[in-house]
Structure 1
């Protein structure tokens, strides 16, 4: 089981990295959890210590890696 790490960021609540499949999990504040595939561990480590995790994310991850909403996330829709 992955352990999520909380960040002091206005954009990102938590992050976790699965080394076995190089997947970065990102919990965005107010938007939920997304999975970014083939993200190297070094970027996860950089996010943990970045002065601005949001800027690092936007500059080096967003739009560069395949992303999908967490498929395990439940979606509640009205009938």
Structure 2
């Protein structure tokens, strides 16, 4: 369970297609059907919030 440096996100986890994101303000949200490659790209992204908004939000 990688903890990340982000003003919006505290932790990101991926298990069998489920991406779990812990937001500082609202807690944990699960996103289903997320490829593992997207998880790794998310971890590598310079801005976690921007990546979330562009590639995860409203897609999964």
Superposed pair shares fold, TM > 0.5: yes
CA distance in 2, matches of 1:49, 1:7: 10
Q: With the length of structure 2 as denominator, give the TM-score of the two structures.
A: 0.94
Per the alignment, residue 6 of structure 1 pairs with 3
Give the RMSD, CA atoms, in angstroms: 0.7
Query: What are the equivalent positions in structure 2 for 1:40-79 lying under 5 Å apart?
Result: 40-65=35-60
**Corresponding pairs, count:** 60
Structure 1 stretches (4+) deviating beyond 2 angstroms?
none
Q: With the length of structure 1 as denominator, give the TM-score of the two structures.
A: 0.73
**Where in structure 2 are there 5+ consecutive unaligned residues?**
none
In the TM superposition, what is the alpha-carbon distance from 1:11 to its structure 2 partner?
A: 0.9
